[in-house]
Amino acid sequence: MQENSFINSYRYILGILLAEIIIIQVSGVSFHAITGNALFSLNVDPFTWLPFIAAIPKFILQRYPVALAFDLCMVTGIIFLILKPMRQLRGIVVFLLMFLFYVTLMSRHIHWNFQVGMFLILFPLCFRAYQAKLFAFEALRFFLLFFYASAGFLKIVYGAYLKSDHLSHLLVGQFGPYFIEGNTGWRTQLHLLLVNTPALSYGLFIGSMALELFAFTGFFTKKFDPFIAMALLLFHLANWVIMDIAPFGQIAFVCLLFFSKSIFNSDGHLTATLQQQVDLEHP
């Protein structure tokens, strides 16, 4: 299949995903690192139940060599996918591996937010037809926009924007272990300042809401997609510094907005090269 902007875009996205997975594994979190951990807790999402009904996480985490093999397969799978992003079978296999990694990790981590992108980003590569891949990419883009815009919107619905001490209260729970261990520094000083200065944290909270709500513009035009991506990355960076919630596992997902313009024109139609590709496939 001819090289084109979709393939190249996905190579970059997969490269970012690979870097994220390596960062997570090097930090010490992987299938093989959590073998022997029998305690897990699931949420209400039935999709996350499926691997547990099939007893797959239990099978992996009771066998160190199997867990290690899954870790290696995940990394090599992404590398193979970078080489040939259009191979459907590779796409499905890596999607399932990443879904399994996400579900297994989160069931032990017991904190399910902000990592869902690590497997969703592979969703378009599970389809065979080129046009189906493009539709799936478009669907994924809307999913991302909904995911972040709903976060801003629900803060309005629940009236959080009316409470000047909302973020100050939320922050209190974020740095407890650092103080208990006496591991203090500029971030804990900033933390104390924000907790004790609600006006300052309220300003940051409204700013973060504005960054999330900016995703709504993506429903009407693709013109601002790179700016939405930058806004969301800024939101995540602030989250990391202020709330100690790092975005590793979600960055590739957000970065897909940098590439939507190379696939679609700002008016929402396919670029000329891609339209030719689709026409060749479906004359």
Partner 1 sequence: MSFFPYNAMYSVDFYRNNSGETYALKLNNQLLHITRNWYWKKDFLETSLRGFAHYIEDSNRVFMDHYLDYKFPNPAIHGYLREKLTPGIIKRNDWVKWYASFAGNDKISGDTIVLIKYAYQISNSGFQLTDSSIIWKTILDAGK
Residues at the site binding partner 1, with contacts judged by CB under 8 A: 23-24, 26-29, 33-34, 36-45, 47-49, 52-53, 55, 102, 105, 108-111, 113-114, 116, 120, 143-148, 150-151, 154-155, 157-158, 160, 163, 165-166, 168-170, 172-173, 176-181, 183, 188, 192, 195-196, 240, 244, 246, 248
Q: How many other CB atoms sit within 10 Å of the CB of residue 43?
A: 11
Residue number, 86 or 136, with CB nearest to partner 1? 136
Which CB sits closer to partner 1, 11 or 109? 109
Question: Residue 35 Cβ, how far from partner 1 at the closest point, in Å?
Answer: 8
DSSP 23: H
- Looking at residue 219, what DSSP letter applies? G
Which residues pair with residue 264 across a beta bridge?
Answer: 270
Measured from the CB atom, the residue of 180 and 199 that comes closer to partner 1 is: 180
- Supply the minimum distance, in Å, between the C-beta of residue 93 and partner 1: 18
3-class secondary structure, 165:
coil
Q: Which is nearer to partner 1, 53 or 89 (CB)?
A: 53
Picking from 199, 182, 194, the residue whose alpha carbon sits closest to that of residue 241 is 194
Residue 141 Cβ, how far from partner 1 at the closest point, in Å?
A: 11
The minimum distance between CB 78 and partner 1, in angstroms, equals 17
Q: Which two tokens stand for residue 250?
A: 């979600």
**In whole angstroms, how close is the CB of 3 to partner 1 at the nearest point?**
31
Please return the burial class of 175, using the count of CB atoms within 10 Å of its CB with bins 0-12, 13-18 and 19+. buried
134 or 232: CB nearest partner 1: 232
Q: What is the largest CA-CA distance in the chain?
A: 67
Contact by Cβ (8 Å): 140, 121: yes
